[in-house]
């Protein structure tokens, strides 16, 4: 990890933020208000995770709980859609003049005595090198799905993402998981004529399922329109079948596609590479009041700061992490004056 940094840097920054999700953008706004003008380096596009959400997804939260930078988030309905969220965060980025190097991937962060050296590669394969006083890691988790660890998971028919139902018309689809994403996907697939089987290890429906959705889903299960397998798991995937192990039997079902909607996890290896210690429960070491890690000058923002569960931090709470970071940096400046 401690590679050679003999070449000259492309720029010197006061703060570099890794990740241009809502929480990274919120951190940039808070730091901009201190006059620090941070640079965000983003491996994909702005709010990439949201752009990967199902095409017709509607947020569980109301728009005011997703706002950043004191810019109102207006929507046509009570709950914003994916498309409205993309437009909102794009507008905030432009209006607040946030500096974002999109499609550029940070590959290395090395701590020196007073600064950090950050190495990245842009979309043209060119290596970039920056020197910065502080690093804010806001990398989210959407690029790291929770794998099943079963035979056949690597087949092309298996996806950890669901975008829209249309391609699955008249297909036999197994959905693994019992969260809102799994229930929503099953309902959309049923509407386009897919034959849907939901495989969930829990004894009953997961807590937190949207209350206006669950009765509709339960009615379809009761009619046999959607097949529900509780206390079950997929143990093997083949080209034309899936093998499901339930409480009473093991069965093999004809299958065209598998949607493994089993959640995601932050990239702890990247944090470890920078020197951030990982606790016994797998969570990174950081101060809740300042968001600073055990590495002075390295901060966390958003879901990367989650502890036991990746879904314990949402946009609604992670958007305030930047305020804590800015307050700590401001206090550090005043202490050195």
pLDDT in tens, 284-299: 999 999 999 999 999 9
CB 74 within 8 A of CB 63: yes
CB 313 within 8 A of CB 264: no
- What are the structure tokens assigned to 211, written together? 């209350």
Share of the chain above pLDDT 90, in %: 82
| pLDDT tens string 122-165 | 999 999 999 999 999 999 887 789 999 999 999 999 999 999 99
Burial of 210 (0-12, 13-18, 19+ CB in 10 A): middle
| pLDDT tens string 36-91 | 999 999 999 999 999 999 999 989 899 999 999 999 999 999 999 999 999 999 99
pLDDT exceeds cutoff 90 at 105 = yes
Question: Domain spans of the chain?
Answer: 11-144+264-336, 158-260
pLDDT score recorded for residue 337: 44
pLDDT exceeds cutoff 60 at 1 = no
- Just give the CATH number of 158-260: 3.50.50.60
Average of pLDDT values for 252-273?
93
pLDDT exceeds cutoff 60 at 7 = no
pLDDT score recorded for residue 66: 96
- What are the structure tokens assigned to 328, written together? 């700590």
Distances in Å between the Cα of 7 and the Cα atoms of 26, 118, 130 are 32, 12, 10
For the chain, give the mean pLDDT.
92
Exposure string over 29-65, b if 16+ CB within 10 A, otherwise e: bbbbebebebbbbbbbebbbbbbebbeebbbeeebee
CB 23 within 8 A of CB 138: yes
Q: In whole angstroms, what is the distance from residue 164 CA to residue 152 CA?
A: 23
SS3 317: helix
Q: pLDDT-based confidence at 8, cuts 50/70/90?
A: low
Domains 11-144+264-336 and 158-260 equal at CATH topology level: yes
- 42, 234, 59, 235: which is closest to 143 by C-alpha? 42
Q: In whole angstroms, what is the distance from residue 277 CA to residue 184 CA?
A: 37
- 265, 274, 263, 264: which is closest to 106 by C-alpha? 274
- 11-144+264-336 is classed in which CATH architecture? 3-Layer(bba) Sandwich (3.50)
Burial of 219 (0-12, 13-18, 19+ CB in 10 A): exposed
pLDDT score recorded for residue 334: 60
Q: How many residues does the chain have?
A: 337
pTM of the model: 0.89
pLDDT exceeds cutoff 60 at 326 = yes
Cα dihedral 317, 322, 325, 327, rounded to 10, equals: -100
Residue with the larger pLDDT of the pair 143 and 6: 143
């Amino acid at each position: 990890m401690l590679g050679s940094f003999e070449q000259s840097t492309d720029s010197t920054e006061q703060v570099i933020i890794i990740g241009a999700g809502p929480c990274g953008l919120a951190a940039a706004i808070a730091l901009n208000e201190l006059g620090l003008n941070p640079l965000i380096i983003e491996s994909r596009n702005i709010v990439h995770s949201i752009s990967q959400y199902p095409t017709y997804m509607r947020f569980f939260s109301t728009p005011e709980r997703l706002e950043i930078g004191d810019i109102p988030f207006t929507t046509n309905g009570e709950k914003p859609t994916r498309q409205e969220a993309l437009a909102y965060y794009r507008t905030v980025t432009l209006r607040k003049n946030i500096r974002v190097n999109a499609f550029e991937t940070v590959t290395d962060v090395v701590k020196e005595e007073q600064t950090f050296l950050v190495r990245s590669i842009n979309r043209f394969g060119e290596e970039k090198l920056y020197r910065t006083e502080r690093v804010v890691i806001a990398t989210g988790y959407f690029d790291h799905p929770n794998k099943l660890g079963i035979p056949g998971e690597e087949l092309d028919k298996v996806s950890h993402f669901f975008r829209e139902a249309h391609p699955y018309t008249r297909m036999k689809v197994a959905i693994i998981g019992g969260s809102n994403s799994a229930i929503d996907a099953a309902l959309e697939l049923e509407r386009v004529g897919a034959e849907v089987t939901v495989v969930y290890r829990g004894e009953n429906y997961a807590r937190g399922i949207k209350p206006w959705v669950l009765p509709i889903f339960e009615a379809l299960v009761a009619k046999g329109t959607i097949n529900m397998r509780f206390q079950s798991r997929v143990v093997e995937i083949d080209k034309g079948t899936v093998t499901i192990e339930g409480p009473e039997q093991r069965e093999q079902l004809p299958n065209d596609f598998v949607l493994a909607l089993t959640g995601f996890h932050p990239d702890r290896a990247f944090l470890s590479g920078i020197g951030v210690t990982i606790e016994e429960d797998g969570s990174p070491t950081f101060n809740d009041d300042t968001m600073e890690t055990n590495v002075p000058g390295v901060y966390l923002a958003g879901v990367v700061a989650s502890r036991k569960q990746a879904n314990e931090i949402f946009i609604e709470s992670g958007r305030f992490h930047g305020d804590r970071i800015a307050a700590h940096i401001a206090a550090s400046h005043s202490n050195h004056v």
